[in-house]
Structure 1
Amino acid sequence: QDVADALKIGKGTIYRYFDTKRDLFQHAVDRVMIQMGAAIDEAVLGEIDPLDQITGAIRAYLHFFNDHPQYVEILIQERAAFRDRKKPTYFKYRQANLKRWQQVYMSLIRHGRIRAIPVDRITDVLGDLIYGTMFTNYVAARTKSLVDQADDIVDIAFNGLLTERERERRGNGRVRRAAEAENEP
């Protein structure tokens, strides 16, 4: 009824388009994800350098949810109200767009611009990082500039935490951990 009142239409009109509240809600979540994708697409449209595309996508993502905090709430509500779903809508859309970004990372690897890391690892880590940032911004009502947040994510993701000297000293952390695990009793 709240939706019908907000739209100044009868509740019956809504149910001509949506069989159930669940169906209506699902379409609302789909709309959020379609709008988010469009905002990201628009932000990277003019960018030629793939690294600038990644930066633009991260900025657009954070701005989108900052400009539409009610959409974060919809994602939270979906998880709370529809626990029976195997995969929330957000992750279905993420999966559908993954190949595009994996191709960007593969190209960067081929051209020697980023390390040869499995692209699914890159997309998982960066995806989790920006998804977590989006939720933290909403829940904690952060006021830090979104450009600064995006730049911080990009800086740490692109440049890492360790100095070159420390990276050389430590070697490849994943390889070292695997070797240590093999030597455990």
Structure 2
Amino acid sequence: MKPKEAPKFTEKQAEILETAYQVFAKEGFRNTDVQVIADLAGVGKGTVYRHFGNKEELFLATAKYCLTKAGQYIEQQVLQEDDLETLRDHVGALEILRRAAVAYAKYYQNNPLTIEILIQERAEFRESVFPTHLMWRAEARERMDELFKDAIDKKLFRNVDPKRATDAFADLLYGSVVNGCLGGGKSQLVVRVENAVDIFLHGLVRHDAPSSE
């Protein structure tokens, strides 16, 4: 199965969005002046509006741009020139999950301002916009469901609903990254996620633990 095609941005749009990413993350949506973004990007304010309509649409395009970059980075790190089916045959679902978790953490460790964008999106557009990170998760989840199903079918994991496993894994990654960034641990996201995933995959309860009965 192939992933859904990522949104396409022209070179000029990408230049504007890279600048908008920095300004929105540091100044906040309400305090950002589009003229400042235009000046820093080396274009006219009208050019920004011609590509993105208004300040709100520019911000939402910035959020989508951030997660598009994240998705592309994670996919490249995980697949490494293979397709998912080939990779699954070569290294197995468990290794793919580990690679995905580490790549996810590395992206946000290198691009922590992305978290600021996602938090602002939730704060400013709570009533009008479906969160971009949830939209991105929904588009990626079919492949994750397949990975968990494969691991369950091969008796690597206990028999649980693959969709529940996907939700738990995604929640673990997102929560680890957000809490790490907000808690001042931006430089340690990879270690934080590796620890969380190790516990997720192997559990806390010992197989020889005494019964509570």
Pairwise same-fold verdict (TM > 0.5): yes
Work out the number of aligned pairs and report it: 170
Letter in 2 for 1:137: G
Of 177, 181, 187, the match for 1:134:
177
Q: What is the rounded CA distance, in whole Å, between the counterparts of 1:54 and 1:8 in structure 2?
A: 41
Conservation of the 8 A alpha-carbon contact between 2:145 and 2:166: yes
Q: What is the rounded CA distance, in whole Å, between the counterparts of 1:92 and 1:66 in structure 2?
A: 22
Q: Runs of 5+ in structure 2 lacking a partner?
A: 1-34, 81-86
Give the aligned partner of residue 114 of structure 2: 71
Q: What is the rounded CA distance, in whole Å, between the counterparts of 1:53 and 1:78 in structure 2?
A: 30
| 1:161 match: secondary structure | coil
Residues 56/7 of structure 1: CA separation in 2 closer, same or farther (3 Å cut): same
Residues 18/143 of structure 1: CA separation in 2 closer, same or farther (3 Å cut): closer
TM-score, normalised via structure 2 length: 0.74
1:117 aligns with 2:160: yes
Q: What is the rounded CA distance, in whole Å, between the counterparts of 2:186 and 2:136 in structure 1?
A: 28
Residues 82/143 of structure 1: CA separation in 2 closer, same or farther (3 Å cut): closer
1:107 aligns with 2:150: yes
Give the aligned partner of residue 100 of structure 2: 57
Which protein has the bigger helix share?
1
Give the aligned partner of residue 178 of structure 1: none
1:49 Cα shift? 2.1
Most deviating of 135-144 and 113-122: 135-144
1:85 aligns with 2:128: yes
Conservation of the 8 A alpha-carbon contact between 1:55 and 1:150: no
Give the aligned partner of residue 44 of structure 1: 78
Letter in 2 for 1:123: T
Give the aligned partner of residue 40 of structure 2: 6
Give the aligned partner of residue 60 of structure 2: 26
Larger radius of gyration: 1
Most deviating of 102-111 and 82-91: 82-91
Deviation above 4 Å: which 4+ runs of structure 1? none
Identical aligned pairs, as a percentage?
31
Q: What is the rounded CA distance, in whole Å, between the counterparts of 2:187 and 2:119 in structure 1?
A: 22
